[in-house]
Amino acid sequence: MNTVSFKGEKRDVATKASVVRNSGSIPAVIYGGDVLEHFTVTHNDVKHLIYTPDFKMGEVELDGQKHRCIIKDIQFHPVTDNIEHIDFLAIEDGRKVKVNIPIKFKGVSPGVKNGGKLMQSMRKVKVKADPKDLVDELYIDISNLELGFAVKVKDIEVDGNIEIMASPSIPVASVEVPRALKSAEAAA
């Protein structure tokens, strides 16, 4: 599991968020279980946690105490896209969490080898699992995927401790027949 560690500075709730932002920091809160802390972080501390297609867990240190967490919500400025506020969810073993995990492919599709185009319609899937069972990415085998067929959520390889929260019939990827092959078939 990829973990990004960073330090946060506790802040007084009476301090306005605009004052914190003007000083170059980002106001944040961590909550969950018996944890509720308001703090500030810098953009450089959290950028590897936010701007990535991968699933990463955070570990924030506040006054010498470390909290494992995931990002629950991020608020961006509507014009400048600067981060306005971050909500972190504190996680504990034994308490299940819902997260989005990226989907990766295994194998080579025979449909792609025959000239088809692999179209991925779902890049992440929401799962519910205990934090100790979370993985960085989930895999789906496309080695039997022919032209015009699709793989679905039910084909994702998961162990018994991870529950997928999406409908099993939703397509994840398909191999489309290109126009050149369609016209060649029509001519034949």
Q: How confident is the model over 117-128, as pLDDT tens digits?
A: 999 999 999 999
Note whether 60 and 70 are within 8 A (CB).
no
Sorted by sequence, the CB contacts under 8 Å of residue 57 that are 6+ apart come out as 1, 2, 3, 4, 68, 69, 70, 91, 131, 134
The Cα 90–Cα 156 span in angstroms is: 27
CB neighbour burial string for 98-122, b if at least 16 within 10 angstroms, e if fewer = ebebebebeeebebeeeebeeeeeb
Note whether 163 and 129 are within 8 A (CB).
yes
* Residue 107 bridge partners (DSSP): none
Question: Residues 68-91: pLDDT tens digits?
Answer: 999 999 999 999 999 999 999 999
Q: What is the pTM of this model?
A: 0.81
**Per-residue confidence in pLDDT tens, the chain, 188 aa:** 789 999 999 998 888 888 999 999 999 999 998 899 999 999 999 999 999 988 999 999 998 899 999 999 999 999 999 999 999 999 988 899 999 999 999 999 998 998 889 999 999 999 999 998 889 999 999 999 998 899 999 999 998 889 999 999 999 999 998 876 667 666 66
CB neighbour burial string for 25-40, b if at least 16 within 10 angstroms, e if fewer = bbbbbbebeebebbbb
The Cα 24–Cα 90 span in angstroms is: 24
**Residue 107 DSSP symbol:** S
Helices and strands, number each (H, E), in the chain:
4, 14
